């Protein structure tokens, strides 16, 4: 429930998200005098940015698994490079 009559609200009906159909954004008191087109543009940008930052299609467990896989791949790459460099140095000095 919204209390008070001095609240300016921007309603976005097309969220681009399959889970949420509508977003209500309350305009900050100091920004009420901005052009409505600018406020609407900023609101849509915010909703898109927010929607992209939370990826509901990928579970937290899957994100953690992907991060661990990336770390392993980096570790294996660094290890392989280290072995190659050491091997080259040994062959060069023999």
Give me 66's structure tokens.
């992907």
Ranges of the chain whose pLDDT falls below 50: 1-2
3-state secondary structure of 63: helix
46 & 63 share domain: no
pTM of the full structure: 0.48
Number of domains in the chain: 2
pLDDT value at position 58? 65
pLDDT value at position 76? 95
40 & 63 share domain: no
Whole-number Å distance between alpha carbons of 85 and 68: 26
65 & 42 share domain: no
Q: What is the pLDDT of residues 52-75, one digit of tens each?
A: 776 556 677 787 888 999 999 999
Instruction: Please give the residue range of the domain that contains residue 64.
Output: 58-94
Adjacent-strand bridge partners of 25: 10
pLDDT value at position 57? 63
């Amino acid at each position: 429930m919204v209390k008070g009559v001095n609240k300016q609200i921007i309603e976005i009906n097309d969220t681009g998200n399959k889970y949420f159909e509508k977003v209500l954004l309350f305009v900050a008191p100091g920004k009420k005098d901005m052009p409505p087109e600018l406020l609407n543009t900023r609101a849509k940008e915010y909703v898109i940015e927010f929607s992209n930052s939370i990826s509901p299609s990928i579970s937290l467990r899957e994100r953690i698994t992907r991060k661990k896989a990336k770390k392993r791949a980096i570790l294996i790459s660094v290890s392989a490079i280290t072995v190659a460099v050491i091997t080259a140095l040994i062959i060069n000095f023999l």
